[in-house]
Structure 1
Amino acid sequence: MTTTTPAADARGLALAHYAARAVLEHFLARHGVTFPQQVALRAAATAESPRTPDALAAEVRGSLKTDPATVRADLDALLAKGLLATDGAHLRPTDAGRDLLATTAAEVAPLTARIWAGIPADDLAAAGRVLAQVTARANAELATLTP
């Protein structure tokens, strides 16, 4: 019996994304945090300098392709949970926020290692190039659709 490797397509990309996201969400749920909230918290924690709420919301909106009200609600939830704090005109992650990111990263790390184990470096490099191209093209198409 001969099996052929399926070509990458939108469905395959979506299935991989949602499967990997579900693994992460399993651990986030233990801590009462949603995936979009984690994306926002990570964006704040990895920023080179503190971000204004507008700048952080714009970055998260660009990543998640969601509406501004949803992003603002996620930022408000992170503030209410004490994972983000207001610092003048900026938002910054609190120690609890940084601890949450470190904890969930440590919890998911063994599963992530198993998921990615054994994939040849050349395959990962090729997939990286394809994903970067698909992302750029999809963002360009999206830009023509939004006013």
Structure 2
Amino acid sequence: MTSTTTVNGQIIGQAHYATRAVLESVLARSGITFHQAVALNATADDGGATERDRLTDRMTGTLKVDADTATTAIDTLIASGLLTDTGSRLALTTSGSALQHDIRTGTAEITAGLYADLPAEDLATAGRVLATVTERANAVLAAK
């Protein structure tokens, strides 16, 4: 007899930690942390340059970390020459852009295999469910 697995916090957590471990294996080769990778990706997503406050807000909002943690990640990227601070904006350096591209490409290759044979309808449903759960959890956090 087979049973149907329903979505719950444990299943979501297991999927998160398993895929996070895969990402960490990619990051281990690059020498940067998860928070730093998120900062590089967010900067790339903003066209390669962004305001420091916008990047900090994005990191605290999506990662649920405090501003000091986000600032430490950003400052480490600047000190490592992967981001540059122009005074009003942070921008990817040439090496930062190359590293971000390598990480995104490496992660995309692995991710493609993870999702390869899953029906598009299932992925769309899972996406809607997870987006709703995230929205509700964010509302609970905002109410505290």
TM-score range, shorter chain: over 0.9
* TM-fit CA distance, 1:112: 1.4
2:87 pairs with 1:99: no
Alpha-carbon distance in structure 1 between the residues aligned to 2:47 and 2:68: 25
The letter for the 1-side match of 2:54 is A
> Which deviates more from structure 2 when the two are superposed, residues 66-75 or residues 82-91?
82-91
Match of residue 40 from structure 1: 39
8 Å CA contact 2:82, 2:93 repeated in 1: yes
1:12 paired residue number: 11
Q: Where do 1:1-147 residues align within 5 Å?
A: 2-48=1-47, 50-145=49-144
- What 5-or-longer segments of structure 1 have no aligned partner? none
Summarize deviations over 1:36-69 as a string: whole Å, max 9, x none. Answer: 1101111111115732212210111111000111
Q: Give the counterpart letter for 2:62 in structure 1.
A: S
Say if 2:48 and 2:92, in contact at 8 Å, map to a contact too: no
Match of 2:70, as an amino acid?
A: V
- Aligned partner of 1:41: which letter? L
1-structure distance, mates of 2:54, 2:103: 25
SS in 2 for 1:126: helix
Tell me how many residue pairs correspond in the alignment: 144
Provide the aligned C-alpha RMSD in A. 1.3
**What is the rounded CA distance, in whole Å, between the counterparts of 1:109 and 1:90 in structure 2?**
28
Q: Is the 8 A contact 2:49 2:92 kept in 1?
A: no
Distance 1:108 1:50 in 2: 22
Find the residue that maps to 2:50 and give its secondary structure: coil
Give the conservation status (yes or no) of the 8 Å contact 2:40–2:92: yes
* Residue 104 (structure 1) shift: 1.7
The runs of at least 4 aligned residues of structure 1 exceeding 4 Å deviation read none
Long gaps (5+) in structure 2: none
